[in-house]
């Protein structure tokens, strides 16, 4: 299943009336941090909220009429599900999508809204993959793999062609890697275009969540290997094994695959929201997280791919709090007080004088760890940053308060 630049150009023709060319926006804050121009490729603004519609549409459009008549089936936690559902509806094809039982409700609702039948076979994506493949075998439907097929990779590679038109002197592209379809396609387009024109080659950097990083051990072993993934907020790139095709393409064309922590992902998401006004999901922010953690790996101008923006509002609230904590702007503090009238009011007044916003307070008076004359307050505090947080904690301790960070 070889892939070349002509395949990606042909995929672009198929997609010309289907997708929107997404904007490339300059990021001043990242440019200052890196020491050179940084741009964000906003696939979070693509139809269905992610890049996945590109590959899904190309794959289904290239099926025969008989194959489309039998329907398509997919397994996904969300973005691939939506891409397949919309592509199938546009091409007059029935889609059945297997999703984990705990998939975010907005992604489930969107998949159904695009016309797909949604089935919940179990709690994990692996359960869904197994069930989807069994369904395809039993019903004669075509299984649409989320990343390990040349047509899917070609569709994702059209992002690379757009980047070249928008920023011809790009030197590095960094983006999320789960199964590898996105960066395989982008790398194929950019490396082949550089060869064709004799231009300077573009460096490609993939970013994996540290808790779900199958590519580094696979590259070290010289073959795709399965790893046990840990829970990660970046569920969109939580893949236990690279694809066979994508492993070969990443090995040949991607210059580096780095890992990023949950803290970096949450801070990257917060930065995108606050400074670039872009709502992204954790997996969609992995490229920005890589710039925050691994700026040494890039040459500028650099493009970071915002690969998706489909985030559950409940998760968004949690991740933002996580990002604020990582930036020193959110504290959870236990404080011991004398159990006497006015003690809590005094503490809150002192926090107000220090410019702290108290978000939540829980007051405990009867617990085995406290003396009879003591009380304890658990507070969620909003500060102006790390220096302000340290100043607040120092001043409270100087006033005799016993503090414990939670």
pLDDT digits (tens, 9 = 90+) for 345-402: 999 899 999 999 998 888 877 666 767 778 888 999 989 888 899 999 999 999 888 8
CATH number at residue 99: 3.40.50.1100
State yes or no: pLDDT of 176 exceeds 80.
Answer: yes
Give the pLDDT of residue 75. Answer: 92
**pLDDT, tens only, 240-256:** 899 999 999 999 999 99
What residues contact residue 349 under an 8 Å CB cut-off, 6+ apart?
A: none
138 and 236 together in one domain: no
Task: Give, in order, the Cα–Cα distances in Å from 70 to each of 89, 119, 190, 218.
Answer: 14, 18, 36, 36
Whether 73 shows a pLDDT value over 60: the answer reads: yes
Residues 178 and 315 placed together within one structural domain of the fold: yes
Q: How many domains does the chain have?
A: 3
Identify the domain boundary among 119, 143, 167: 143
Active-site residue, 41 included: no
* Structural domain containing residue 383: 328-405
End-to-end CA distance of the chain: 52
341 lies in the same domain as 317 = no
Catalytic site residue 52? yes
Across the range 77-102, mean pLDDT stands at: 94
How high is the pLDDT of residue 260? 97
Does the pLDDT value for residue 1 go beyond 60? no
Average pLDDT, the chain: 92
Last residue of a domain, one of 323, 354, 380: 323
Closest CA to 283 of 264, 262, 308, 260: 308
User: What pLDDT, in 10s, does the model give residues 157-167?
Assistant: 999 999 999 99
Higher pLDDT among residues 290 and 404, named by residue: 290
Tokens representing 261 are: 């922590």
The CATH number of the domain holding residue 381 is 3.30.70.260
**Catalytic site residue from 27, 218, 264, 307:** 307
> Which of 41, 52, 191, 210 is the catalytic position?
52
Is the pLDDT reported for residue 95 higher than 90? yes
pLDDT at 2 over 60: yes
What mean pLDDT is predicted for residues 87-104? 93
Same domain as 249, residue 366: no
């Amino acid at each position: 299943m070889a892939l070349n630049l002509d395949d990606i150009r042909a995929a672009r023709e198929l997609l010309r009336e289907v997708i929107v060319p997404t904007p490339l926006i300059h990021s001043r804050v990242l440019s200052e941090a890196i020491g050179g121009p940084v741009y964000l490729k906003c696939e979070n603004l693509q139809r269905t909220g992610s890049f996945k519609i590109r590959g899904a549409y190309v794959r289904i459009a290239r099926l025969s009429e008989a194959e489309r008549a039998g329907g398509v089936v997919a397994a996904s936690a969300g973005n691939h599900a939506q891409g397949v559902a919309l592509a199938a509806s546009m091409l007059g094809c029935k889609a059945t999508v297997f999703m984990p039982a705990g998939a975010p409700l907005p992604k489930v609702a969107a998949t159904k809204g695009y016309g797909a039948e949604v089935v919940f076979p179990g709690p994990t994506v692996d359960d869904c993959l197994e069930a989807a493949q069994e369904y395809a075998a039993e019903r004669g439907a075509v299984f649409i793999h989320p990343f390990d097929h040349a047509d899917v990779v070609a569709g994702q590679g059209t992002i690379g062609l757009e980047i070249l038109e928008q920023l011809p002197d790009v030197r590095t592209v960094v983006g999320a890697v789960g199964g590898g379809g996105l960066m395989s396609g982008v790398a194929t387009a950019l490396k082949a275009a550089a060869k064709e024109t004799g231009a300077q080659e573009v460096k490609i950097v993939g970013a994996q969540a540290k808790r779900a990083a199958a590519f580094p051990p696979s590259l070290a072993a010289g073959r795709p290997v399965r790893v046990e993934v840990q829970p990660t907020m970046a569920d969109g790139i939580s893949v236990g094994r690279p694809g066979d095709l994508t492993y070969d393409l990443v090995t040949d064309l991607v210059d580096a695959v780095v890992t990023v922590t949950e803290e970096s992902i949450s801070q990257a998401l917060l930065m995108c929201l606050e400074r670039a006004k872009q709502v992204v999901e954790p997996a969609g922010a992995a490229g920005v997280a890589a710039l925050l953690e691994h700026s040494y790996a890039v040459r500028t101008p650099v493009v970071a791919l915002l690969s998706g923006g489909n985030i559950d509002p409940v998760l968004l609230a949690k991740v933002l709090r996580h990002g604020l904590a990582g930036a020193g702007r959110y504290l959870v503090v236990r404080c011991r007080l004398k159990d006497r009238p006015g003690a809590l009011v005094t503490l809150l007044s002192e926090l107000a004088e220090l410019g702290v916003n108290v978000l939540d307070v829980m007051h405990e008076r009867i617990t085995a760890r406290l003396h009879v004359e003591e009380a304890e307050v658990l507070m969620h505090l909003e500060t102006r940053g790390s220096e302000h947080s340290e100043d607040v904690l120092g001043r409270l301790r100087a006033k005799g308060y016993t503090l414990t960070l939670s």
